[in-house]
């Protein structure tokens, strides 16, 4: 068996015409009441043979020497039917059409003439051998031979025209299909190249503007035919700005369109962001939010894809087109692949921006630390050293004028020098707490409490949970130390508190969240008033607390009232899941 790439047209013609021939022969025998059993058997066998050939044709298969076998069987069938039905005087002497048709289809006029000649010789020979009145049958024989010859010529040349035209049309269709497949392959290759170019470009840049330009330009290149400039599609990237979507970049939008903002509480933007799946519409002009964009006036279809990953939603990307059937499943699949790459690129760009912001913040923090050190040195040790110098000048004069008063004055100078030394040591300790590196957070917090009392006579009480400290890595312990130091200093300088209480424990709401509390019984303050004009205040204590809490993905909460003291709380996640719960506000600050 052989299988061709395309169906055998000649086989289908031969099978179809054989059915018509068999039908005509059967009707001729039945109407003349000559359809005896042995002729019925022959017709049934021929019909079954034609059924088998039909199955082979449906399977697009052929036997070896397929045409020759078919033609031989048809000739045998015609000869057998001629002999069994009465020969030259029988009702189906014209039945040679069965074999001549097959010969004409398979071998055109040459085959039909040869088969007609062979069958004619058989019919003459059979008549000569079986009929005693052979000489009286010369006219029917001539008519039969003329019929065979004329039929062979007509069918042969008709088959030549038919098969020639059919082949021409057949191969034309094949060429068209191959051309379409080739064009589709070229388009697919161009789209794949555009997609890889998109991936390569997005992977090689961290510039936010370049990322958005690349998404829109290469998306259009991948969706449309590269040579068809008329297929320009209006498209846009919407990103969140606070609670609304704004157009971060677009193609085909007017300057007025670019200034729009969208709450995304209705229409295709809303359904895309709430379902997290691509949404299509054929009524973009009637969309409650996007319908006012002039770029979509001529669009009859649009697709909107979410730019979201996990719990992070950045916005959406939308494409419009004038063809209502343009966004096929294949194009939608390609757009979804592009949107996934766009999400990764946007994440990377934002992370890069965050890193740049953090670098700038680190520089600002270092500058602020230097300024703070300068202020502390100026307000504390520098003033004390100046006072020591002045008092020593006074003592030098007293040696000659009042020697008896020198010793008490020297004691005051000694006390001032010791206090200045303690202040300097305290500053050096907070700048680099070596005890934190050697003995851990608990020892460092107790050390800062002791030094605060020795230096400033401020009582500080420390309570820590060892299990919590064990779950904090060294970097988090360092941040917790500086959080406590900043809060203690704020309370010491501004609260006039008798006692400052530092506690580190597990939150009562969540065992995977640690709670750092710094409480004082001082004067307190009005939170609303301080928050409203904090940018004009000289101290950055609250800002430092907030920024340090963010370094460990923590949450800062400050509760204070005038005359009621202050409570500073920092919720510290001990796992990634706890960090997500903190960021999504599932912590009840009042019942911690």
Local structure of residue 382 (DSSP, 8 states): I
472 near 514, Cβ under 8 Å?
Answer: yes
Local structure of residue 381 (DSSP, 8 states): I
Cα 281 to Cα 324: distance, rounded to the nearest angstrom:
9
Per DSSP, the three-state class of 2 is strand
What pLDDT is stored for residue 467 in this prediction? 92
Distances (CA, A) of 568 to 113, 556, 581: 111, 7, 20
Q: What is the CATH number of domain 433-592?
A: 3.30.565.10
Sorted by where each begins, the domain ranges of the chain are 2-176, 221-343, 433-592
Cα 383 to Cα 395: distance, rounded to the nearest angstrom:
18
Entry pTM: 0.44
Cα 558 to Cα 374: distance, rounded to the nearest angstrom:
28
Per DSSP, the three-state class of 101 is helix
Q: What is the CATH number of domain 221-343?
A: 3.30.450.40
Chain centroid to CA 156: how far?
A: 63
Q: Which residues contact 124 (CB under 8 A, 6 or more apart)?
A: 141, 145
Distances (CA, A) of 106 to 21, 101, 163, 421, 454: 16, 9, 9, 117, 116
What pLDDT is stored for residue 537 in this prediction? 46
Q: Which residues contact 55 (CB under 8 A, 6 or more apart)?
A: none
Phi, psi of 292 (to 5 degrees): -85, 0
| CA-wise closest residue to 90 among 21, 137, 43 | 137
Cα 417 to Cα 400: distance, rounded to the nearest angstrom:
24
555 near 570, Cβ under 8 Å?
Answer: yes
Conformation bin of residue 569: beta by default, left when phi > 0, alpha when psi is -120 to 50: beta
Distances (CA, A) of 103 to 13, 46, 344, 423, 570: 11, 16, 68, 118, 98
Distance spanning both ends of the chain, measured CA to CA: 83
Nearest 10 degrees: Cα torsion 370, 376, 382, 388:
-160
What is the tally of helices (H) and strands (E) in the chain? 18, 13
Cα 531 to Cα 488: distance, rounded to the nearest angstrom:
19
Compute mean pLDDT per 10 residues along the chain, 592 residues long, and list them: 53 85 87 84 90 85 84 90 86 86 85 89 88 83 89 85 75 82 72 64 67 78 55 83 86 87 89 90 89 88 86 86 87 82 76 72 63 67 78 79 80 80 72 79 90 87 92 88 88 88 90 92 79 50 80 87 88 85 69 64
């Amino acid at each position: 068996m052989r299988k061709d790439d395309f169906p055998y047209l000649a086989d289908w013609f031969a099978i179809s015409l054989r059915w018509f021939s068999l039908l005509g022969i059967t009707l001729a025998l039945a109407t003349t009441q000559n359809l005896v059993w042995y002729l019925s058997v022959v017709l049934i066998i021929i019909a079954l043979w034609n059924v088998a050939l039909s199955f082979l044709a449906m399977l697009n298969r052929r036997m070896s020497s397929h045409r020759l076998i078919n033609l031989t069987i048809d000739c045998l069938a015609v000869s057998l039917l001629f002999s069994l039905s009465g020969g030259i005087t029988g009702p189906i002497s014209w039945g040679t059409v069965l074999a001549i048709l097959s010969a004409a289809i398979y071998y055109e006029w040459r085959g039909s003439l040869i088969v007609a000649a062979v069958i004619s010789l058989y019919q003459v020979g059979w008549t000569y051998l079986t009929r005693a009145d052979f000489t009286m049958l010369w006219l029917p024989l001539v008519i039969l031979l003329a019929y065979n010859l004329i039929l062979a010529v007509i069918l042969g040349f008709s088959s030549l025209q038919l098969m020639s035209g059919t082949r021409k049309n057949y191969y034309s269709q094949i060429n068209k299909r191959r051309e379409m497949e080739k064009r589709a392959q070229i388009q697919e290759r161009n789209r794949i190249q555009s997609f890889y170019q998109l991936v390569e470009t997005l992977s090689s840049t961290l510039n936010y503007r370049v990322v958005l330009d690349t998404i829109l330009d290469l998306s259009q290149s991948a969706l449309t035919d590269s040579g068809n400039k008329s297929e320009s599609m209006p498209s846009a990237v919407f990103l969140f700005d606070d609670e609304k979507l704004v157009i971060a970049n677009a193609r085909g939008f007017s300057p007025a369109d670019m200034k729009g903002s969208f709450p995304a509480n209705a229409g295709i933007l809303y359904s895309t962001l709430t379902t997290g799946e691509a949404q299509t519409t054929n009524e973009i002009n009637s969309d409650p939010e996007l319908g006012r964009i002039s770029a979509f006036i001529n669009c009859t279809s649009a697709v909107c894809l979410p730019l979201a990953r996990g719990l992070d939603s950045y916005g959406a990307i939308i494409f419009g087109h004038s063809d209502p059937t343009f966004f096929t499943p294949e194009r939608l699949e390609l757009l979804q692949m592009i949107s996934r790459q766009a999400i990764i690129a946007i994440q990377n760009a934002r992370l890069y921006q965050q890193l740049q912001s953090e670098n700038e913040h680190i520089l600002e923090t270092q500058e602020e630390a230097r300024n703070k050190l300068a202020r502390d040195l100026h307000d504390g040790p520098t003033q004390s050293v100046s006072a020591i110098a002045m008092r020593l000048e006074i003592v030098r004069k007293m040696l000659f004028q009042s020697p008896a008063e020198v010793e008490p004055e020297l004691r005051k100078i000694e006390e001032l020098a010791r206090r200045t030394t303690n202040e300097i040591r305290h500053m050096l300790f907070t700048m680099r707490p070596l005890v934190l590196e050697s003995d851990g957070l608990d020892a460092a917090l107790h050390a800062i409490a002791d030094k605060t009392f020795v230096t400033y006579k401020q009582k500080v009480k420390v309570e820590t949970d060892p299990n919590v400290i064990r779950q904090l890595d060294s970097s988090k312990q360092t941040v917790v130390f500086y959080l406590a130091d900043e809060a203690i200093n704020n309370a010491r300088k501004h609260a006039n508190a008798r006692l400052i209480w530092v506690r580190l424990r597990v939150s009562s709401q969540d065992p995977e969240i640690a709670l750092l509390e710094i409480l004082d019984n001082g004067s307190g303050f009005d939170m609303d008033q301080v928050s409203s004009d904090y940018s004009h205040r000289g101290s950055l204590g609250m800002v430092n607390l907030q920024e340090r809490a963010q370094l460990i993905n923590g949450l800062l909460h400050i509760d204070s009232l005038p005359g009621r003291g202050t409570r500073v709380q920092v919720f510290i996640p001990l796992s990634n899941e706890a960090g997500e719960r903190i960021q999504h506000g599932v912590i009840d600050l009042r019942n911690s």
